[in-house]
Structure 1
Amino acid sequence: MVKLNYKNYQIEVINDSNYTINSIDNLKVYDTVFFQANEDKDKLYSTSKCVIIVKKSDTKIASAIICESGGVTAITQKSFIIEDDRIWICVCNKVYCLEIPSLDLVWRKEIDFITNFSIHKVEEDFIIHGELDIKRITKSGEIIWSFGGRNIWVNPEGKTEFNIENNTIHLFDFESNEYILDFNGNVLLDNPKPSTEKNWMDVLKIAQEIKKNKPL
């Protein structure tokens, strides 16, 4: 859960994993339910259920739950941005833009094919850290540029996959290949992991061969 103040409003962003679409057994009811998949087929497979509540003087003005299927998006202070009486929020592989305080939908678009980890303000646009791609988008959701590395933007070695510093974007992919981009998507540094280092697939294959007592 994330709570913050915006102008005269109190805004809460919450995960409600127990919510089931069209169920009369839900413990909480929301003013608006955003869900565009086939309800009969997919209602049990909504992997992220993100709730936004807008209050004023502790009185609820509007509430909405966004239900999406795909890679799960964690609710953190980096999963949404609020400004100009709107909230832009990552839910699975979509980004939603809603008005504040009504929470009416402005737009909804798929940005990454799998999932969006975080959203960051850069100049007058946003940078999306997706699992497959890093993208710069406008406030209306138009993609300005997209960058993909040699592997996905998740790093099992504990390196920070995405970081913005000194007006540049610093990246490490799954294999720990390093990249630095400027805000226009130009590659300033492309530093591959040394080939002498075994990547995780190599290690896995060796372990499997040893287990089977087969020669490498």
Structure 2
Amino acid sequence: MKIDYKNFEIEVIDDKNYILNSNNNFRQYQKIYFEESKFQPTTKHAVIIKEYGIEISSVIICETEGATGIYENSCIIEDDKIWIRVSNKIYCLKIPSLEIIWQKEFDQFTNFCFYKLEEDFLIHGELEIFRITKNGEIIWSFGGRDIWVNPEGSEEFTIKNNVILLVDFESNRYILDFDGKLLEDIPK
């Protein structure tokens, strides 16, 4: 995914083939964010920043929890920052240096995607839905009867008409307001 921001071209990619501590990688990054672990990373997302076509910074972020890919709602860019969802964490990085401002685990397993909501963010996690500030502080969280994945093909997470519509694994439906208050609970 490529995003134009000010004088920068920001590319966000899923570099599945990257091998930690190898000189044989197709691409080398200026920074690597990975806490050493006994586990191999399940997710490897990279951010590359170019200015006038010249690469000025790059980072690969590796995490060991639920595997995620790069999609439309994988990152948010504004205020000279990029917030990127990697596995079960959100990283906030400075633009253009890509230095970490903060990083924090939210859902225990996986953060599927996240969205801008007013001056905050909403995270669609596997177990919970979170509303957080731009500084990573949790405003509220909400869990249903089951995980936020639906095998029947229903959209699990939708923001519409000033409410949040949720469907869990068992097809139970929930409607929340933006303050995290449950407005309706509709069992299957």
Give the TM-score band, short-chain normalised.
over 0.9
Q: Secondary structure at the match of 2:20?
A: coil
Aligned residues: 188
Q: Return the letter of the residue paired with 1:7.
A: K
Aligned partner of residue 185 in structure 1, secondary structure = coil
* Structural RMSD (CA): 0.7
Question: Unpaired runs of 5+ in structure 2?
Answer: none
Equivalent in the alignment of 1:12: 11
Per the alignment, residue 132 of structure 2 pairs with 137
**Is 2:36 the partner of 1:37?**
yes
Equivalent of 2:100 in 99, 105, 127: 105
1:4-83 pair list within 5 angstroms:
4-38=3-37, 41-42=38-39, 45-83=40-78
Counterparts of 1:135-214 in structure 2, within 5 Å, are 135-193=130-188
* Of 119, 124, 130, the match for 2:119: 124
Structure 1 vs Structure 2: percent identity of aligned residues? Answer: 59
Q: TM-score of the superposition, structure 1-length normalised?
A: 0.86
Structure (1 or 2) with the larger CA radius of gyration: 1
Structure 1 or 2: larger strand share?
2
CA-CA distance at 1:25 after TM superposition: 1.8
More helix by share: 1
Distance in 1 between residues matched to 2:108 and 2:36, nearest whole Å: 16
The letter of the residue matching 1:110 is: E
TM-score by length of 2: 0.98
Partner Cα distance (1:185, 1:73) in 2: 25
